[in-house]
Chains A and B, each alone.
Chain A
Amino acid sequence: MTGATLLFLIIGLGLIAWFFGRLKAAGMQSGGKHSRSALHSLPNYHGWYVALWAILPAAIFLAVWSFASPALITDAALTSPAAAQLPQDAFARAAILSEARAIASGNQVNAFNPLSQSMVEPYRDAITYYQMIGTVAALLLVFACGVYAWLQIKPDLRARTKIERVTMLVLLLASLIAIVTTVGIFLSLVFESVRFFSMVSPIDFLFGTEWNPKAVAGPRGETGFGAIPLFWGTVFIGAIIAMIVAIPLGLMSAIYLTQYAPAKFRSWMKPILEVLAGVPTVVYGYFAALTVAPALRDFAVSIGISNASSESALAAGVVMGIMIIPFVSSMADDSIAAVPSAMRDGSLAMGATQSETIKKVLIPAALPGVVGGVLLAVSRAIGETMIVVMAAGLAANMTANPFSSVTTVTTQIVQLLTGDQEFDSPKTLAAFALGLVLFIVTLLLNLIALRVVKKYREAYE
């Protein structure tokens, strides 16, 4: 019996347990139609109580078993006479064992190594043996725990309380998964970065100005892992050019929507902007690479900038800014809408015009929220990959000329990890170090932004 079949069987048994639990509890529900039930909890809860007792311990056992049994199986296979012929070399041994296991469990048909073939039989036996133990134990658990729970059913059993506690635990686990995963990613980034920094000094990496990664160090020990040009490119595109586009346009759009737009227009416009925020960035990337970049290059050439590149910081930055407008607009919209209307009325009642009210009261009052939104937007922009990969180029230039090609952290991560690379060369590991820097910077930006926004919200409690 495979694991999946067994699991379905257990769930099926659980449903039966639910039925019996419910039946027994319902039988205890005495009294006439309108008298208060003698049961503490509704029969349904008793049903679930028995069902969960039947399913959960068995499921947990299976999970543990599926982790533990491969080691047990290998140990058992190694005690067979055929194992005596295996080579002593750990590496060769492991290769043979894994081949034998693949054949035994039906994932592979023929062995390359005749030794593997000889190990298949012992493996098959061990697998069958341990699977049987697992199955029998799981089914026994289902029955034992199910019957135990069923016997527990009494009118005053607090089944509802217990079910609710289990529900809460499940919800807690669900919420932890995202956090645990993020921590795991962070740790793996740190781990790989430490390996990288054992080959390249962190000082050279963080403050070096030459980005030209090589697999081996040059004659003077230079490695070409100076990341400053990448940091500059990232800031230039994501925090400068994109924000020059996104902040004014997003703010103006928010002001129009909250203050001037007729309710009908607003009710159309807001959802449309929100949908725009969900357009895949690769679409914007096409737009940047195929439309904006050539147009900008032609424009640059026409005004006499001869070295304008067809991949430019400006094209990537402008399109990224446009991509972020809905985001800034929606954050600013929320902040302006959160300013109490009493503030607006107070200003209007002083004889201020609407635009004076917006300029002198609403925007200053909403500013912290807007700043928080902008910081979040920056953190999105510097982590954005597709647009810059498609439109910004690969040349690690340290230039403030928006018409020249620059490269960013994310572009270089893609560059370093694609193609044939050894997994532990500094070139590949550099991608992790870059990822770590990006991770830390965006995390800090988000933390600051959320703090600012929260402070601001408190001010208007």
Chain B
Amino acid sequence: MNYDQKILEPNESVNMTDSATTAMNTESGTPKMTARHVDVFYGDKQAINDVSIDVNMDSVTAFIGPSGCGKSTFLRCMNRMNDTIPIARVTGEIKLEGEDIYASQMDVVQLRARVGMVFQKPNPFPKSIYDNIAYGPRIHGLATGKEELDEIVESSLQRAGLWGEVKDRLDDSGTALSGGQQQRLCIARAIAVDPEVILMDEPCSALDPIATAKIEELIHELRGKYAIVIVTHNMQQAARVSQKTAFFHLGTLVEYGETTDIFTNPREEKTRDYITGRYG
């Protein structure tokens, strides 16, 4: 993938030519995605109120907050999955490497190939493991032949830490795997189209602790290769996997900063109340 000319925000200093080099060159973290003054409405009801946030390439960003505060809603704005909800309306500006993703010339198909998503409940297609992974590369025409496709499938499964467990049963149905394996299959499926950002909406909430630990380990390994945003209701998980944490409350972004700061020394009263378990 090649995105030559980028419109840079004034405070962006590093000239990005390739997502991979961006990952290596950034120290303080150049925003991969930026959101400014985003409001989201479901019909007349406002679910997100004036949220501005930057998502970096080199860190895992966690969205935390009480349920119903709009974490999923905001996450779904970042790859325009809210387009599938007829009553949802998004205003404000969200940019991916400086390109406005809500601009009319933005192709949603391209956007979603660049910003992948993993859902709360593992949702493998009722196809073989191989076809699950090959699904994205096929629709985006990423492989020219069978061998190339095989390679993509293998490397995606390897990155998702699933290759060893499934390499002898690629023809089995994806739905026959265990819950944790299914979720890693979904992550592998997202990786297979070589995205720049991976959005995860409570990816472990349907899994047992061992499967959860595996996913967390996987997130560690994927960090730096992709900009990762993870929604979680589990604060220990946020503390374990993320470097940046955003605390949402009632549709607003209350506080956003280094995870260690948020958990040890929050600026806002509300954040402290939430992480000390006083409400939520």
Contacts and interface: CB of A to CB of B under 8 A. Distances in A.
A78 B55 CA distance: 105
Contact of B186 (A340, A346, A351): A346
B139 A350 contact: yes
A342 interface: yes
B262 interface: no
B109 A353 contact: yes
B123 interface: yes
25 contacts: A263-B86, A342-B123, A344-B84, A345-B84, A346-B119, A346-B124, A346-B186, A348-B112, A349-B81, A349-B112, A349-B119, A350-B135, A350-B136, A350-B193, A351-B111, A351-B112, A351-B136, A351-B193, A352-B109, A352-B136, A353-B109, A360-B139, A365-B126, A459-B126, A459-B175
B79 A347 contact: no
Contact of A361 (B113, B116, B125): B125
Interface residues of A, number: 20
Interface string B247-258: 000000000000
A269 to B, nearest CB: 18
B33 interface: no
A346 B189 CA distance: 10
Nearest to B108: A351
A343 B139 contact: no
Contacts of B123: 340, 342-343, 345-346
A364 B127 CA distance: 9
Contacts, number: 66
A356 interface: yes
| Residue from the set A351, A360, A361 with the largest chain B CB neighbour count within 10 Å | A351
Interface residues of B, number: 28
Contacts of A342: 119, 121, 123
Given A345-B81, A361-B125, 13 more contacts: A344-B84, A346-B123, A346-B186, A346-B189, A347-B125, A349-B79, A349-B116, A350-B113, A350-B190, A351-B110, A351-B111, A351-B113, A351-B140
A350 B81 contact: no
Nearest to B117: A349
| Residue from the set A342, A343, A348, A361 with the largest chain B CB neighbour count within 10 Å | A348
A347 B117 CA distance: 10
A346 B109 contact: no
Nearest to A349: B117
| Residue from the set A350, A352, A361 with the largest chain B CB neighbour count within 10 Å | A350
Contacts of B108: 351
Interface in A311-356: 340, 342-353, 356
The 8 nearest A-B residue pairs measured at CB: A351-B112, A342-B123, A351-B113, A349-B117, A346-B123, A350-B136, A351-B109, A365-B126
Interface string B50-83: 0000000000000000000000000000010100
Nearest to A339: B126
A348 B189 CA distance: 13
B139 to A, nearest CB: 5
Contacts of B140: 351
A259 to B, nearest CB: 11
Contacts of A365: 125-126
Contacts of B125: 343, 346-347, 361, 365
- Chain A: interface secondary structure? helix
B136 A348 contact: no
A347 B121 contact: no
Nearest to B107: A351
Contacts of A349: 79, 81, 112, 116-117, 119, 190
B112 A350 contact: yes
A353 B135 CA distance: 12
Contacts of B127: 364
Interface in B92-140: 108-113, 116-117, 119, 121, 123-127, 135-136, 139-140
A360 B135 contact: yes
Contacts of A356: 139
A335 to B, nearest CB: 13
Contact of A350 (B84, B116, B126): B116
Contacts of B86: 263
B183 to A, nearest CB: 12
Contacts of B119: 342, 345-346, 349
A158 B11 CA distance: 83
Contacts of A350: 112-113, 116, 135-136, 139, 189-190, 193
Contacts of A352: 109, 135-136, 139
Contacts of B84: 344-345, 348
Contacts of B116: 349-350
Contacts of B81: 345, 348-349
B1 to A, nearest CB: 13
Contacts of A340: 123
Interface in A205-252: none
A342 B126 CA distance: 12
Interface string A57-74: 000000000000000000
Contacts of B109: 351-353
Contacts of A364: 126-127
A324 B249 CA distance: 53
Contacts of A351: 108-113, 136, 139-140, 193
| Residue from the set B126, B140, B190 with the largest chain A CB neighbour count within 10 Å | B126
A200 to B, nearest CB: 50
Contacts of A360: 135, 139
Contacts of A344: 84
A343 B123 CA distance: 6
Contacts of A459: 126, 175
Nearest to B136: A350
B135 A347 contact: yes
Nearest to A368: B126
Nearest to A263: B86
